[in-house]
Amino acid sequence: MIKPASTTRERMVDAAVRLTVDRGWSYVTMAKLADEVGVSRQTVHNEMGTKAGLAEAMILRELDRFMGVVSLAFDAHPTDLVAAIASAAEAVLEHAQDNPLLHAVVSAPHGADTELLPLLTAHSASLLTVAKAVIGDRVGPYGIAIAQPELDAAIDMVVRLVLSHIMQPSGTPAETAADIAWIARRVLA
């Protein structure tokens, strides 16, 4: 299968990720991005607006990738919610472990270049909302016999627990996923 040509916007986001990973977010400017992609600064501004808009595009694309990993895990376990949760948690943690942009944001290896971290945390409410909505939609077909407020609380707990382990892992993805599955099994029983 031939991959379709990427759009100018996708190429800009790809280039911004590369520059951020290689040099740090503070190095990224609209002019450097334009040079990297081979377009004018005006084109960059037309597509991205501001540097904050560029950061948001990068974050939303990564969120979409993470949610894709979650969907695949749920698709693999259509009749076992706990197995779906465990598989999704492990897949997300593995994806995070190998994600250079996430490492660039969280670890800030470029000195005091932590400018992206506040943007990520500023969007944390919307990130949580999106993640919980995706999980909530995926949980619906399992027919869990729990009142909606308790189910919402359980989903919130699982999402926040996975995010916590993305930011500060305390074990392997498989070990952490097993722990999360153990908790989910008890909550959903």
Q: Any idea where the domains of the chain sit in the sequence? A: 8-188
CATH classification code of 8-188: 1.10.357.10
Structure tokens at 43: 């084109």
pLDDT under 50 in the chain at which residues?
Answer: 1-3, 109-112
Report yes or no: 82 and 152 within 8 Å, Cβ to Cβ: no
> What is the amino acid identity at position 4?
P
State the pLDDT at residue 122.
58
Report yes or no: 112 and 102 within 8 Å, Cβ to Cβ: no
- By CB atoms closer than 10 A (0-12, 13-18, 19+), residue 98 is exposed
Tell me the pLDDT tens digit for each residue of 82-120. Answer: 999 999 999 999 999 988 887 777 665 444 455 666 655
State the pLDDT at residue 45.
94
State the pLDDT at residue 125.
64
What is residue 144's DSSP assignment?
A: -
pTM score, two decimals? 0.80
Neighbours of 1 (CB within 10 A): 3
Report yes or no: 155 and 136 within 8 Å, Cβ to Cβ: yes
State the pLDDT at residue 112.
42
Cα 131 to Cα 63: distance, rounded to the nearest angstrom: 8
State the pLDDT at residue 28.
92
Cα 139 to Cα 187: distance, rounded to the nearest angstrom: 14
